[in-house]
Copies of this chain bind each other. A is one copy, B any other.
Amino acid sequence: MSDDLLELGRRAQAARRLTSQLSSEAKDAALRASADLLDSRRDQVLEANGTDMERAERAGTSASVLDRLRLTPSRVEAMAEGLRQVAALGDPIGEAVEGWVRPNGLEIRKVRVPLGVIGIIYENRPNVTSDAAALCLKSGNVAFLRGSSAAITSNQAVASVLRAGYAKAGVPEDALLLIEDTSRESAVEFMRMRGVIDCLIPRGGRSLIDAVIASATVPTIIDGDGNCHVYVDRAADLDSAVAIVANGKTQRPSVCNATESLLVHAEVADRFLPAVVAALDGVELRGDAAARRVVGRARMGEATDEDFSTEHLALILSVAVVPDISAAIDHIGRHGSGHTEVIVTADLAAARRFQREVDAAAVVVNASTRFTDGEQFGFGAEIGISTQKLHARGPMGLRELTTTKYLVTGEGHIRP
């Protein structure tokens, strides 16, 4: 392992205990001081970002990547506002999750404590630096961050502003550590820092996730794909179903809780499909044979099996007609990614069965896929949406960045 990374690991370890013991007051003061500094040093941050942007433009980076990399005055303002919002949230640390007394009088309490050091590996958005740092600090964790090489100057600037804010509030600066060596080798070393990183969260596309799955030896939480379905049952309110599909597909197509696939009960396909197609102007439709018969081959291309398994993150919708709810549940079991699955129905038995049998982080009745989100769930902020089943499943807020410990109290108890 490189000396730099080893040294950062040592600092993370050293900062962990102090950070875990911080009062809510101290953490909130640090976040607010950092927000104020982000405001007052906005020009410095924008200048640093200019360096990254220039280098990226010279390298012929695509427009969409440039957009993610770019900071503007209002984006930096939003970062500062984000810090203040996290400061205003409740502190998850110290919550007594449960407690009981054993027949022998031994008292057991389970309390919420920080994980310790949270590693986050992410791509080009410099705002992740401040968002992730804020959530980690609020939950009493050291944020050990590894952004992309393209964003390194921006990330350094943001991190140095936050660290200065922490110092002002008497919080260890090393509660935020940014890796400056953005080589591929250091990324792999980072994923293997067992004993230093308590939890690694990758935030990025498929190739990053795959690299983490292949290389990480530290515990990870995977913020995975969302191949989200809407199943329109025969007992659906069809107007409502049109609105839900259109909202899920078009309101923000590039995010993981966008709708990717539509399943329609055969009994309502003739009525529903023309209505929904009319509401999906500008959306490329790829359907199975039955759907194409209703919609017409001109408006709807042919869907391959691959289409049904793909998270397009674009204005593309795959469509299938299913004979019944069993077939819909089977289709979702085969093609879904375990993110968000919706049924539109007025039939209680269908709703209950769908929610019971579909295996996903969020199983939704009569609402858009777009609600699977920390903000929409009321968590105030989110670090991502877990599609794995261990530790956290679905939107992850502050609580998902914690663990628990058992506090056991006796009066000289020994085991007979």
Contacts and interface: CB of A to CB of B under 8 A. Distances in A.
Interface of A: 17, 20-21, 100, 102, 106, 108, 113, 115-116, 194, 198-199, 213-214, 217, 219-221, 237, 240, 243-244, 246-247, 251, 333, 351, 355-357, 359-368, 370-372, 376-378, 388-391, 393-394, 403-415
Given A106-B371, A378-B102, A414 B244 contact: yes
Contact of A389 (B116, B247, B364, B366): B116
Most B CB within 10 A of own CB, among A240, A361, A372, A413: A413
A92 to B, nearest CB: 14
A209 to B, nearest CB: 11
Contacts of A214: 217
Contacts of A389: 115-116, 198-199, 219, 403
A411 B366 contact: yes
Contacts of A405: 359-363, 393-394
Contacts of A237: 412
Contacts of A217: 213-214
- List the 4 shortest-distance A-B pairs measured between CB atoms, nearest first: A367-B410, A247-B414, A240-B412, A367-B413
A364 B409 contact: yes
12 contacts: A21-B357, A115-B389, A115-B390, A198-B389, A243-B412, A244-B412, A247-B414, A363-B407, A365-B407, A366-B411, A367-B410, A372-B408
A189 B247 CA distance: 42
A324 B20 CA distance: 21
A219 B217 CA distance: 10
